[in-house]
Amino acid sequence: MAAEREPPPLGDGKPTDFEDLEDGEDLFTSTVSTLESSPSSPEPASLPAEDISANSNGPKPTEVGLDDDREDLFAEATEEVSLDSPEREPILSSEPSPAVTPVTPTTLIAPRIESKSMSAPVIFDRSREEIEEEANGDIFDIEIGVSDPEKVGDGMNAYMAYRVTTKTSLSMFSKSEFSVKRRFSDFLGLHSKLASKYLHVGYIVPPAPEKSIVGMTKVKVGKEDSSSTEFVEKRRAALERYLQRTVKHPTLLQDPDLRQFLESSELPRAVNTQALSGAGILRMVNKAADAVNKMTIKMNESDAWFEEKQQQFENLDQQLRKLHASVEALVCHRKELSANTAAFAKSAAMLELLSDYIRLIAAVKGVFDHRMKCWQKWEDAQITLLKKREAEAKMMVANKPDKIQQAKNEIREWEAKVQQGERDFEQISKTIRKEVGRFEKERVKDFKTVIIKYLESLVQTQQQLIKYWEAFLPEAKAIA
């Protein structure tokens, strides 16, 4: 199968790469749906989500946006540009990504022109290889903070605005320090755009924090009690971690949407992230369709690495869930204890990390699912090609010259498609491998730092306890 063949060389700026990817979009537009990933599942999630049960935040396998052709930007691309590129204007993603183009799961043919509606990033300064080198060498200097949550407006239209501060020395940003105000739905919008562009190519896009209608309503209503401040604080921390993870990813960092998010003072409102919008309902429907689809796809996994990794992630997911549940109980009890003895509840930090990782793993699984879909498309293309050949043969026998010509054309077309499918599949496999490697490294680092922090805080608590008890002892002795 394709996996054995040597994948096309990456990063040497060869235009052939871009061509492939550009063509590839067409296949993608047709499958299941073109909805961007919805970081928020509408609260009445009555439809069965596949394996993303409670944390329905991972980018769903449903979304298959259109590929972004960063390759367009390379200066060398001009000669061997594919049929599509002139049709595409590099537009900033000022419009919401194709959110409402539902396509039935079975059609494979879509007019190429449709690809126009997707967004393309602007020209970058450097080629992809440079970026990768940099990432590997870890010369990557950008710091993001989310702070100052403040309430804007009142009543049910109120929302919390967060200040996103960026400190960086990267040259692609116009300033070295800047900050903007963003609200929660802006974050969700960013995530959905990124996911629609990168997920189906095999990149692991970090999932955004969850929507919480209950929490937000409490804040909107204006209750100034501790639970709503706690909620806001938790959300702020989650948003910060989300952004930090996203910018750590070298490919995502180059994305213009991300830059716009960080830099520009005004951001078009991302309406499709609302829980109860038309888009939301559509997302639900497509999620269900995809679930059914997933059950019927039987993939011939010839690459042992993928199989092993998938299994690994399954296990990891389960384990983390269990751990998460236990730590949640721990947090609860510590809170109780602290309520009774006025101490600190430090395990909440661990909890945060665990839930983040559960969602990240869901994202990883989504990426794997994409690969599966890619493979399926390829298979289908092959089948269709066969059919077309048969039809041609029949025509030959029946001796209808005009039909023969048409059949020949179609055959050529499908041959190209088959090749395309194959190349896509290889591409996505390679990308996934790299991504998973990076993910693992990140994971190790993340866990370690958090664990160390947690333990240190425990030590601190214990030391304070010691101090207090030592102060108490002489008093106890003095009881008369």
Partner 1 sequence: METHAEAGKEGKPSCASVDLQGDSSLQVEISDASCLPHFAQTEFSVVRQHEEFIWLHDAYVENEEYAGLIIPPAPPRPDFEASREKLQKLGEGDSSVTREEFAKMKQELEAEYLAIFKKTVAMHEVFLQRLAAHPTLRRDHNFFVFLEYGQDLSVRGKNRKELLGGFLRNIVKSADEALITGMSGLKEVDDFFEHERTFLLEYHTRIRDACLRADRVMRAHKCLADDYIPISAALSSLGTQEVNQLRTSFLKLAELFERLRKLEGRVASDEDLKLSDMLRYYMRDSQAAKDLLYRRLRALADYENANKALDKARTRNREVRPAESHQQLCCQRFERLSDSAKQELMDFKSRRVSSFRKNLIELAELELKHAKASTLILRNTLVALKGEP
Site residues (vs partner 1, CB under 8 A): 312, 315-316, 319-320, 322-323, 325-327, 329-330, 333-334, 336-337, 340-341, 440, 443-444, 447-448, 451-452, 455-456, 458-459, 462-463, 465-466, 469-470, 472-473, 476-477, 479-480
For the bound state, the minimum distance from the C-beta of residue 442 to partner 1, rounded and expressed in Å, comes to: 12
For the bound state, the minimum distance from the C-beta of residue 445 to partner 1, rounded and expressed in Å, comes to: 10
Q: Cα torsion for 114, 120, 123, 128, to the nearest 10°? A: -100
What is the C-alpha to C-alpha distance for residues 305 and 319, in angstroms, rounded to an integer? 21
Q: In sequence order, what are the beta bridge partners of 163?
A: 147, 181
Q: Pick between residue 295 and residue 304 the one whose CB is nearest to partner 1.
A: 304
For the bound state, the minimum distance from the C-beta of residue 441 to partner 1, rounded and expressed in Å, comes to: 9
For the bound state, the minimum distance from the C-beta of residue 46 to partner 1, rounded and expressed in Å, comes to: 25
For the bound state, the minimum distance from the C-beta of residue 360 to partner 1, rounded and expressed in Å, comes to: 15
| H-run or E-run covering 167 | strand 159-168
What is the C-alpha to C-alpha distance for residues 117 and 448, in angstroms, rounded to an integer? 43
For the bound state, the minimum distance from the C-beta of residue 136 to partner 1, rounded and expressed in Å, comes to: 18
Q: Pick between residue 124 and residue 447 the one whose CB is nearest to partner 1.
A: 447
Strands 142-152 and 177-183: unpaired
Q: Pick between residue 218 and residue 433 the one whose CB is nearest to partner 1.
A: 433
| H-run or E-run covering 183 | strand 177-183
What is the C-alpha to C-alpha distance for residues 102 and 32, in angstroms, rounded to an integer? 8
For the bound state, the minimum distance from the C-beta of residue 430 to partner 1, rounded and expressed in Å, comes to: 21
Q: Pick between residue 171 and residue 340 the one whose CB is nearest to partner 1.
A: 340
For the bound state, the minimum distance from the C-beta of residue 194 to partner 1, rounded and expressed in Å, comes to: 27
* In contact, 1 and 300? CB cutoff 8 Å: yes
Residues 6+ apart with CB under 8 A from 308: none
Residues 6+ apart with CB under 8 A from 441: none
402, 404, 381: which is closest to 394 by C-alpha?
404
Alpha helices for 209-301 (secondary structure H): 213-221, 226-248, 250-253, 256-263, 278-296
Q: Pick between residue 229 and residue 463 the one whose CB is nearest to partner 1.
A: 463
Q: Pick between residue 221 and residue 329 the one whose CB is nearest to partner 1.
A: 329
What is the C-alpha to C-alpha distance for residues 362 and 227, in angstroms, rounded to an integer? 28
What is the C-alpha to C-alpha distance for residues 60 and 474, in angstroms, rounded to an integer? 61
Q: Write out the two tokens for 59.
A: 């980018």
Q: Pick between residue 269 and residue 333 the one whose CB is nearest to partner 1.
A: 333
Q: Pick between residue 175 and residue 477 the one whose CB is nearest to partner 1.
A: 477
